[in-house]
Each structure stands twice: as C-alpha cells, then as structure tokens.
Structure 1
Amino acid sequence: MGALNTTKTKLSNSNLLFLIAAVIFVLMYVFAIISFPRSFLQFQTFFDLFNLNAALIIMTLGLSIVMIVGGIDISIGSVCGLVTMACAMLLESDVGSVWGALLLALGIGIAFGLLHGYLIAYLDIQPFIITLAGLFLAKGLVTTLHKDPINVTMQAFVKLRDFKMVIPWLGTKNRLGVFIPCEIKPGVIVVVVLVVLFAALMKWSRFGRNVYAVGGNSQSALMLGINVKRTIFFSYVICGLTSGIAGFVFIMTTGAGNIGNGALFEIKAIASNVIGGILLNGGVGNLLGAPIGTLTLLIINELIRAAGVQSNYQAIISGLLLYLFIVMQSVVMSLRGRREFRLALLAPWLRLPGMKKAEN
C-alpha cells in the first residue's frame, strides 16, 4: 500500500483518546498499588470501586451518549436523587413492591428524558438551560415529597440490598491467614450489562453512527439524510433512562432515600467522560471511556484520601487534574490535526513513480 493509504489504518480520534485514558488509568492504579500496597493490592478494593459507585458509572454511560451527540445534561444527579426518594416512599408504603419501585424509577427517568429531548431537539432550546430547569424541578420535587431520610425496611428489598455474589476463587487473606473471597453487588451486574449493550449500540447500530455524525457536524449529517432531531431526542431519552436506573441502583446500595442522594453526580459524570476521552464539543469519544474515566477519577480520590489529605483539598486536586486532562486532549487533537493537514498538502508529491505497483 502507498504512503497515503497507510494513514487510513491509524487510530481514530475516539480510539486514540480512549487509549490514552486507559493507559492513564493503568498507571494511576499501579502507582496506587506501589504507594499503598496493603489497600490496593486487595482484589476487593478494586471491586468496591464498582460496588460503591455503580450508580455513578451508569449515569456516566448515559451522559456520554449525550456528550458525543454534542449536548449536555446537568440534571442527572438531581433526577437520581428524586428517584431514590420516590422509590423509598413507595417501598415503605402499604402497596410497595420491588418491581413497582423499579418501574417507578424507570418511569421518572424516561419522563425527564422525554421532556428534555423534546424541548432541546424539536424546539431547539439550549441544552444547558433546559437541563438546568430539570435540575431545579427534580430538586424541588425531592424536598416536596419528603425532607427527612427514609430507611427502607421492606424485607424483600433488604434481601436484594444485602445480596452479594461471591467469587470463591478470587480473594485475599486477612492478617490471621483466613481467605476472604471477593463479593460483587447486583449494581455491578447492571453496570456490565449496560456497558455491553451501549457499546454494541454505539458501534454497530445505525443510531450509534448517527450520534457520531450529528455530534461531528449536524449540518453535514442533515445533508446525508440523517434525522438530526430524532437522534438528539433519543440521546436524551437514553440519558434519562440511565438516570432512573442509576437511582434504583443507588437506593439498592444505600438502602435509604435522602435529599442529598446524587448530589454533584452530574459534575462527576461530566469530569469522568472528559477524562475518558469524550470531547465536550461532540463527535469524538469512545463509550468505554466513560467507565474508565469514572474509575480514574475514583482512584485519584482514593489516593488523596489514603494520603491523609484534608477533604477540602480533594476537590482542588481533582479540579487541577481535570484542567490537565482537558489541556492534554486539546494538545493531542491539535497536533493530530496539524499532521493530517501537512499530509493533505503533501499528497500530490507522495505518489512516487513506483507507487502504482505497490498500491496494486
């Protein structure tokens, strides 16, 4: 193949940024193991990142689709909190059931997704303004429903909350030499299923291709016959759906409804997606970067906590690192763009006399 054709096999921008994010995650975890081996060498410590933060990872997945299409949703944390409070109230009522709470969670999430998707896609209103209104609406509904924490005591739900899948062949020994197998909560299973489904949706479905096309250039996508409004609409519906699922997983983890549930999750989800290589201007990003970015952010916070740094400094360090990731992405994309521009200028001169045979 010729010199020009070899450039076609290079990594796409999405995969390049994902690869960088994955390498950073591995380096951060190796650094954590070296710095605090007693904690991070235990398999359960790694699984607890998923056990305790499954709801955040699920929200990050849904938000990644909206960010790739070129939008934003800052209401997901408040919607998650509303779902936890509504489900807690239903479970503690006389007609409460686990399946009813699940349907309620999905219904609330889809309702917000439909509302935001319609206003943003079909009425062409700025996503930030609409989802900011959704944030206030969800917070207002939470405080209206119930201001005090609600601990769920329903027996069926408590069994689901306390259920753990044991991995008998993987674990660590405590100081007494007793082998303790690793445990996985149901929320982790939900995360794995959603990652597989969403990754397949974005890679092999027409909707996934349309999301990248609309995020890259909505006008060009429209000229190609893509229904831009419908693509944006369903992106927000999926984001709302994942917020509802995240709310149910959150209450499965904590076992209580509280007005503080899901607070600042939208900020953490945006930061996780940026760290995972998903650009804020849309069109570029690998869906698998969402969980990678979330885990990287969580490891950074765990490192700060393990080092004994005061809690008020954790946000400062996380913010500075986010600056670093954004600047790094900008530099990588800029250098990559300049290289492609130079290759385009040199294209007529790269076809040497003997290249036709090589191309054939």
Structure 2
Amino acid sequence: MTATAVRDETTKESRTMKVESFLGRHAALMPTFAALAILLLLFAGAEAFLRGDFITPRNISALLLDNAYLLVLAVGMTFVILTGGIDLSVGSVMAFTGILGAKLLADGLPVVIAVPAIILGGALIGLVIGVLVQYFNVQPFIASLAGLFLARGLAFVVSLSSIKVEEPAILWLQSTRITVGSWYITPTGIIALLAVAVAAFVLHLTRFGRTVYAIGGSESSARLMGLNVARTKVAVYVISGLCAGLAGLILTAYSGAGYPRNGIGTELDAIAAVVIGGTLLTGGRGYVVGSMVGVFVYGTIKTIISFMGAEQSWMQIIVGALLLLFIVVQRAIVARSEGRR
C-alpha cells in the first residue's frame, strides 16, 4: 500500500470517528434534525407535485397563521412530556377558555379583565391536575383525563352554542397583517413565536428548566440532588394549562367566536407534534424548538392533503400513517446514536 493510500485511509477513518463522536454527543438533537429534514422534504415534494404552487410567501405565512393555537398548546405540552407526564386536558381547556372569554366579552366585561381571566382559568385547571399527580399520586393520564371532562363540562355550562366575538381588540389579533414584501404575520403568530422563545429560555437557561429535564431523566435522582421535584411537577401542568388558556384566546380570535365543541382531539394533535419534534414520551429529552418544527410538519401534512382534495376520512388515515412512520424513524435514530457512544 502506498503512502498516499495510507493517508487517504487514515483521513477517512478520522472523518468517520468525528461523525460518530458528533452523533454521540448530540444524540438528543437527532430526532429534531430528522423532523426538520422531513419538513424540508415535504416542502420539496409538495412543490414538485404542485408544480411550483406550494412554496409561496402566502402559503408559508398561512402555515403559522393556521397553526398558532396548536403551537402554543405544543409549548405547554413539551414541559409536561419532558417530565415524563402527559396532559390530555389541553383541547378541552382551550374550548372552555375560548367560550368563557367570548361570554365575558358579550356580557360587557372589559378586555383587560376578560383576557387575564381566561388565561388564569386555564392555569387553575392545570394546577388541579398537577396537585392530583404530585400529591395524590394519580397517574398523569387519569388526572388529565379528569381535567378533560371537567373543562369540557365547564365549557357547556358557559354556553351550549357558539358565541360570536365582536370586540375589536380580540379580532385585531387575527385580522392585522404585518407585511414584509409578500410575507405576512399576524399578532397571533407573534404570540405563538414569543411563547416558543420564552419556553426555550426557561428550559435551557434557568434552574427550573434544568430541573424539568432532571425529573424526566430520573425523578429519584433529581430528588437525591436536592431539586424541588414536587413544585416543578405541579408547575409544568400549570404552564400547560396557561398555554391552553392562551391558545383559547388565539383560537377565538382566529374563528371570531367561542364554541364549546372546539378542540375535540386537539390534545392528540399537540402530543403528536411534540413527539414528531423529537421529545420522548418517557421524558428527559427534547426541545421546544423541535416541537415547533413538529407543529409545522403536522400542519404541512394537512395542507398538502387539503391541496390534493382528499376527503376528511382519508386525511386522518394518511396523517396517522405518516406520524407513525416519523416516530419510528426518530426512535431508530436515537437508538443508533446512543449505540455509537
């Protein structure tokens, strides 16, 4: 073997070792990268199939506009799932806070009181769930299921029918377009992006965020390290409820009305988006930015199927199959990355 061949072989081995080392150190990022790659592939495939009519400023801007409420729900759900919990109540809480806000405004209550009231209402339901989980040892699935029925029942108590919102300040959140060329964003989209930014800061640059990850990794170890596990576990459900209340406001502004049947099944959409974005259901690993990517993947899938003119039943089947595929691929990437360590 010549000296040149030896050098080439050594260089190749060195590059392989560097790649393996990178994957080993950043295994937690791999599912998020996979979700981002899937999103780009969806864009490319839709653009090719629709012959250049998909990737337009209008369609991409509408992706955030149409999924702003889901993005806020996914932010709150990320906190809960990172601790190894689950929150099935967020769709019903969103419906309750939305119809409550519409009712309060219809009765003449000022916006400065109605908006904090509905957000606080969502946080209170989250507090009830968190207390049940932490202090009564109720499984998160059961506790949040109880929260689901509670919130949905309260929504029907407020009103059995839709209540139109005529408050200009609420409608402004959706009707206003901040444009840059052909691109636009609404205040609801800005609120959703701010929620992501604040959540990312809290999770990665505060003691509370580090405690959330520690609990998901090993709750017993987190206790031994002296971390305040009880307060943190209750707090993540409060955050999830608060985000659901904020999503109720966004959805009410988006639709122009509150409706007690809103959000049926939306909690599953939020969970799916979070998992697609790389957050493991077992907790301890994931990123809120990944959840945002997951929401965009989920929204893009629905948009593509809508462009194709598929019936609603087929839309659900296709979305379910694609979500299952994405989750399996991401889990395989995690397993392979951990195997390289």
1:69 is the counterpart of 2:70: no
CA distance in 2, matches of 1:233, 1:280: 18
Partner residue of 1:122?
Answer: 135
2:155 to 117, 123, 142: 142
TM superposition score normalised by structure 1: 0.86
Partner residue of 1:50?
Answer: 64
Contact 2:34/2:330 (<8 A) preserved: no
CA distance in 2, matches of 1:248, 1:227: 32
**What letter is aligned with 1:297?**
Y
- The Cα of 1:161 is off from its aligned counterpart by 4.1
CA distance in 1, matches of 2:207, 2:170: 38
Contact 2:24/2:337 (<8 A) preserved: no
What is the CA deviation profile of residues 33-65 of structure 1, one whole-angstrom value per residue up to 9, with x for unaligned ones?
222245423201111111122111100011011
Contact 1:13/1:284 (<8 A) preserved: no
1:162 is the counterpart of 2:163: no
Residues 241-320 of structure 1: pairs in structure 2 closer than 5 A: 241-320=242-321
CA distance in 2, matches of 1:17, 1:79: 29
**What letter is aligned with 2:34?**
I
Where 1:52 maps in the other structure, the secondary structure is helix
What is the CA deviation profile of residues 249-268 of structure 1, one whole-angstrom value per residue up to 9, with x for unaligned ones?
11111110112222211010
Relative to 1, partners in 2 of residues 1:273 and 1:166: Cα closer, same or farther, differing over 3 Å? same
RMSD of aligned alpha carbons: 1.9
1:31 is the counterpart of 2:45: yes
**What letter is aligned with 1:108?**
G
**What letter is aligned with 1:66?**
V
Relative to 1, partners in 2 of residues 1:42 and 1:144: Cα closer, same or farther, differing over 3 Å? same
Gap regions ≥5 residues in structure 1: 172-181, 341-360
1:100 is the counterpart of 2:100: no
CA distance in 2, matches of 1:189, 1:137: 30
Partner residue of 2:10?
Answer: none
- Among all aligned residue pairs of Structure 1 and Structure 2, give the percentage whose two residues are the same amino acid: 34
Gap regions ≥5 residues in structure 2: 1-13
Partner residue of 1:357?
Answer: none
Contact 2:76/2:240 (<8 A) preserved: yes
**What letter is aligned with 1:105?**
I
Relative to 1, partners in 2 of residues 1:77 and 1:41: Cα closer, same or farther, differing over 3 Å? same
Q: Between Structure 1 and Structure 2, which shows a larger proportion of helix residues?
A: 2
- The Cα of 1:324 is off from its aligned counterpart by 1.1
- The Cα of 1:160 is off from its aligned counterpart by 4.3
- The Cα of 1:88 is off from its aligned counterpart by 0.4
- The Cα of 1:25 is off from its aligned counterpart by 1.0
Residues 8-27 of structure 1: pairs in structure 2 closer than 5 A: 10-27=24-41
1:133 is the counterpart of 2:146: yes
